[in-house]
Amino acid sequence: MLRQACKILNAKQQFSFSHYKQTFELYSRLFSINMNQVEESKKAAAYKAVDNHVCDNYSIGIGSGSTIVYAVERLAERVRKEGLKVVCVPTSFQARQLIITNGLTLSDLERTPELDVAIDGADEVDENLTLIKGGGGCQTQEKIVASAAKCFIVVADYRKDSRSLGEQWARGVPIEVLPLAYASVARKLQKMLGGKAELRMAKNKAGPVVTDNGGFVIDWVWEKVGDWQQTNTQIKMIPGVVETGLFVGMTYKAYFGNADGTVSERQKRD
Ligand SMILES: O=C[C@H](O)[C@H](O)[C@H](O)COP(=O)(O)O
């Protein structure tokens, strides 16, 4: 939107300084309204998922990212108001902090190896409920926790809802690798499956992003994929790959918060 504003301003050189200022203020306001709308939609999806899928005495996998913050907020509220007893297993350092700061009971897969439900965000969800996850580098623990749950629920805003992967998410599939193998994995990936594989670099640190497990992340932007299940297996077979951000056939239901405040649902077909 801001880029659009700049284009308009460049095209209309005759604008005075106050015109520029007014236009920027208008676009800034629109941008912040849009961001509020996105946050509200995340919240609506997360609240509905927690209301529909959490019961007393449940063990719950807690995902990572910005949408899950609202799910934990709602969970803590229900624990306070309804006196629910739940234990929570985190999928990252962030999730662990969320559980602790919200006063929820922290557990782990050693003490709670089977979970009633796991709730998590996603970077993109296709019509078959295949997901791309790992925009924040948490996909390995997220997949382990999701696989330990009887029911895996996704919460997202409307921007993540796609017919096929890649429609909305252009950053590729995040793949966690052992640091010593990053170059050979990237090379093999490109040779075997085409596309472009790049080591994810940190923003406020020199060098690569390092995951909670001490791994590196390769983002693989594909050219053509027919079968995500097969592609996931092919990637996982490359020595040095720890886990991919492809979640195929794992999701029971996804909740998408819409811009108008409603929530859409997509459920696994039998
Ligand atoms: O590594 C990060 C996770 O897979 C997140 O669940 C995913 O990136 C979605 O995050 P958000 O809710 O912030 O869009």
Compute the distance from residue 75 Cα to the ligand 1 centre, in Å. Answer: 18
**What was the pLDDT predicted at 102?**
98
**What was the pLDDT predicted at 34?**
84
pTM: 0.90
**What was the pLDDT predicted at 270?**
78
pLDDT above 60 (res 47): yes
Q: Report residues whose beta carbon is within 6 angstroms of any ligand 1 atom.
A: 63-67, 120-123, 133-139, 142
- Give the confidence band of 2 by pLDDT, cuts at 50, 70, 90: very low
Q: Which domains does the chain have, with CATH numbers?
A: 42-164+248-257 (3.40.50.1360), 173-244 (3.30.70.260)
pLDDT above 60 (res 3): no
What are the pLDDT digits (tens) for 134-171? Answer: 999 999 999 999 999 999 999 999 999 999 999 999 99
Ligand 1 atom 10, closest CA: 65
Average pLDDT, the chain: 93
Rounded mean pLDDT of 218-227? 97
**What was the pLDDT predicted at 31?**
60
**What was the pLDDT predicted at 98?**
98
Ligand 1 atom 5, closest CA: 65
Compute the distance from residue 147 Cα to the ligand 1 centre, in Å. Answer: 17
Task: Name the residue of 40, 68, 69, 123 whose CB sits within 8 Å of the most ligand 1 atoms, as the mutation to test its pocket.
Answer: 123
ipTM above 0.95, yes or no: yes
pLDDT above 80 (res 20): no
Torsion sign (Cα): 9, 15, 20, 24: negative
Q: Which member of 142, 167, 176, 198 is catalytic?
A: 142
Compute the distance from residue 18 Cα to the ligand 1 centre, in Å. Answer: 40
Write out the chain in H/E/C secondary structure: CHHHHHHHHHHCCCCCHHHHHHHHHHHHHHHHHHHHHHHHHHHHHHHHHHHHHCCCCCEEEECCCCCHHHHHHHHHHHHHHHCCCCEEEECCHHHHHHHHHCCCEECCCCCCCCECEEEECCCEECCCCCEECCCCCCHHHHHHHHHCECCEEEEEEHHHECCCCCCCCCCCEEEEECHHHHHHHHHHHHHHHCCEEEECECCCCCCECCCCCCCEEEEEECCCCCCHHHHHHHHHCCCCEEEECEECCCCCEEEEECCCCCEEEEECCC
pLDDT above 50 (res 259): yes
**What was the pLDDT predicted at 165?**
98
**What was the pLDDT predicted at 188?**
98
- Any catalytic annotation for residue 142? yes
What are the pLDDT digits (tens) for 77-128? Answer: 999 999 999 999 999 999 999 999 999 999 999 999 999 999 999 999 999 9
- Ligand 1, atom nearest to 133 Cα: 4
- Cα–Cα distance between 270 and 267 in angstroms, integer? 9
- Give the confidence band of 32 by pLDDT, cuts at 50, 70, 90: low
